[in-house]
């Protein structure tokens, strides 16, 4: 009985209306994020399963290979789109034809097979982001495998079964098709496999969002707790009744939180750059000149790029601080400060998860603009925008962040310089308590 009474009391304390509202809200947001991600993944999968072929080898053999590609034995029919490239300037050709990737069968393909020489096909893919899902191309991979299988089968029929197989032909049978891969990034193209680029950039792609996420949560928690603790301990009343302007108190608080968050960012960045360089060195060392290729493709950040990414990070911190200041003013007790950090956390979590897995620019318009409305999204996308030359998106994001910062800051200043800093509360369903007002 005693235990049950105690348990009931503890449960009531912990499971209050605000906790339940937070839980429901979190689940709702998670479901939304999940839907957004699955939508983007479905879309990416659909796009990735398409096969685009550019055939320069007008021979019966190649036609037979492509026929096999369209109607593989024992498999489902493949939809194949045929295009004609007018030049080997893959950047402009992919742009002109609005293609994500294309498999090129060069002239003389059949002749090489006929001569028992390794035949070559060229695979060109355009990278629009470094996210995992956006770079999957199952269609092209299976197309190349099917072409290879068709060549192998033809070779087997013509050579192996007749028993006229020479030594060099045995080696050729093992690897009948050479795949030459080209990757296009923005307006640059390099002879390199996209998979290699993804492997080399994976660490930076993973860790920069983590850094932004940590920064947002850290700076938010710091200022929110600072304001909430001062309010709860009533040291804020002491301070604001002293001969010092409220704006001075506010500026000192925000600057201190900004400095500590900035220091934290520098420490994290240093640690992570050391960690990522060690890990990515393993990848880049394994391929000659990969560093140079990444640089040529614009997939390494220059000093100017770091400044651009840094500006958005700074904006993010300032927006976080102004939002946290208002949330801190809402706090009634230490328990509520934990609840009020949730909106910031969720706002950071959605774009963080999305940016790692999907290319946000490919989300459906409604979802995309909803995600763009979250100010932190633009910072998570900053590196990608700079690397892939999406500068319109970068500047638009920065402008949006600036407008939002002005609005948030104005409201935060309004709260801090008015009665609201002492009287503001949130009530979930219940009639707003006005105990403060009646004292």
Which residues of this chain interact with another protein, rule CB under 8 A? 233-235, 237-238, 240-245, 418-419, 422-423, 434-435, 437-439
CB of 228 to another protein, least distance (A): 13
DSSP 8-state symbol, 432 = P
Element (H, E) at 387: helix 382-387
Angstrom distance (rounded) from CA 171 to CA 245: 83
CB of 246 to another protein, least distance (A): 10
Which residue lies nearer to another protein by CB, 259 or 275?
Answer: 259
Which residue lies nearer to another protein by CB, 89 or 437?
Answer: 437
Angstrom distance (rounded) from CA 112 to CA 114: 5
Q: Write b or e for each residue in 251-281: b if 16 or more Cβ atoms lie within 10 A of its Cβ, otherwise e.
A: eebbeebbeebbebbeebbeebeeebeeebe
Which residue lies nearer to another protein by CB, 162 or 241?
Answer: 241
The SS3 call for residue 157 is: helix
The gap from C-alpha 106 to its chain's centroid, in whole angstroms, comes to: 35
The gap from C-alpha 293 to its chain's centroid, in whole angstroms, comes to: 22
Asked if 182 and 197 touch (Cβ cutoff 8 Å), the reply is: no
CB of 310 to another protein, least distance (A): 31
CB of 253 to another protein, least distance (A): 13
CB of 247 to another protein, least distance (A): 11
Asked if 126 and 120 touch (Cβ cutoff 8 Å), the reply is: no
Angstrom distance (rounded) from CA 192 to CA 182: 5
CB of 351 to another protein, least distance (A): 34
Helix and strand totals (H; E) in the chain: 20, 6
Which residue lies nearer to another protein by CB, 42 or 437?
Answer: 437
Angstrom distance (rounded) from CA 220 to CA 273: 24
Which residue lies nearer to another protein by CB, 306 or 422?
Answer: 422
81 DSSP β-pair partners: 52
CA atoms within 13 A on the CB side of 318: 19
CB of 233 to another protein, least distance (A): 3
DSSP 8-state symbol, 361 = G
CB of 236 to another protein, least distance (A): 9
The SS3 call for residue 126 is: strand
Residues in the chain: 439
Which of these, 317, 340, 346, 318, lies nearest to 231 by C-alpha position?
A: 340
CA atoms within 13 A on the CB side of 173: 16
Q: Kindly compute the dihedral angle of the four CA atoms of residues 159, 160, 163, 169, in this order, to the nearest 10 degrees.
A: 70
Angstrom distance (rounded) from CA 345 to CA 337: 13
Which residue lies nearer to another protein by CB, 159 or 420?
Answer: 420
Which residue lies nearer to another protein by CB, 67 or 238?
Answer: 238
Which residue lies nearer to another protein by CB, 329 or 350?
Answer: 329
CB of 230 to another protein, least distance (A): 9
CB of 266 to another protein, least distance (A): 24
Which residue lies nearer to another protein by CB, 89 or 419?
Answer: 419
Which residue lies nearer to another protein by CB, 187 or 237?
Answer: 237
């Amino acid at each position: 009985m005693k235990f049950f009474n105690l348990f009931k009391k503890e449960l009531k304390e912990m499971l209050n209306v605000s906790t339940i509202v937070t839980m429901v809200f979190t689940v709702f947001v998670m479901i939304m994020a999940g839907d957004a991600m699955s939508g983007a993944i479905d879309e990416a999968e659909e796009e990735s399963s398409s096969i685009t072929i550019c055939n320069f080898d007008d021979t019966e053999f190649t036609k037979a290979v492509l026929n096999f590609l369209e109607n593989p034995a024992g498999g489902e029919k493949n939809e194949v789109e045929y295009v004609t490239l007018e030049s080997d300037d893959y950047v402009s050709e992919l742009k002109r034809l609005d293609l994500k990737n294309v498999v090129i069968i060069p002239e003389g393909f059949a002749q090489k097979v006929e001569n028992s020489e390794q035949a070559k096909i060229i695979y060109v893919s355009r990278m629009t982001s470094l996210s995992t899902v956006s770079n999957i191309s199952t269609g092209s991979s299976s197309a190349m495998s099917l072409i290879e299988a068709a060549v192998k089968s033809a070779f087997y029929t013509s050579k192996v079964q007749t028993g006229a197989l020479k030594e060099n032909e045995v080696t050729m049978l093992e690897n009948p098709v050479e795949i030459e891969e080209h990757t296009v990034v923005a307006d640059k193209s390099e002879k390199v496999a996209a998979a290699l680029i993804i492997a080399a950039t994976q660490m930076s792609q993973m860790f920069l969002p983590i850094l932004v996420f940590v920064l947002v949560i850290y700076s938010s928690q710091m200022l929110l707790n600072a304001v909430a603790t001062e309010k709860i301990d009533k040291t804020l009343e002491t301070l604001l009744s002293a001969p010092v302007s409220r704006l001075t108190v506010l500026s000192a608080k925000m600057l201190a939180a900004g400095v500590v968050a900035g220091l934290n960012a520098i420490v994290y960045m240093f640690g992570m750059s050391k960690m990522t360089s060690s890990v990515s060195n393993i990848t880049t060392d394994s391929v000659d000149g990969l560093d140079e290729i990444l640089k040529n493709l614009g997939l390494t950040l220059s000093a100017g790029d770091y400044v651009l990414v840094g500006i958005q990070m700074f904006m993010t911190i300032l927006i976080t601080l102004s939002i946290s200041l208002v949330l801190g003013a809402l706090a009634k007790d230490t328990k509520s400060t934990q609840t009020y950090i949730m909106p910031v956390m969720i706002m950071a979590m959605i774009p963080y998860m999305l940016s790692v897995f999907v290319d946000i620019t490919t989300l459906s318009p409604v979802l995309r603009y909803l995600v763009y409305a979250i100010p932190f999204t633009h910072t998570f996308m900053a590196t990608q925008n700079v690397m892939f030359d999406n500068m319109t998106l970068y500047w638009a994001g920065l402008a949006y962040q600036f407008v939002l910062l002005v609005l948030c800051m104005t409201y935060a200043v309004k709260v801090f310089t008015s009665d609201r800093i002492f009287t503001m509360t949130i009530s979930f369903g219940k009639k707003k308590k006005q105990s403060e007002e009646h004292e």
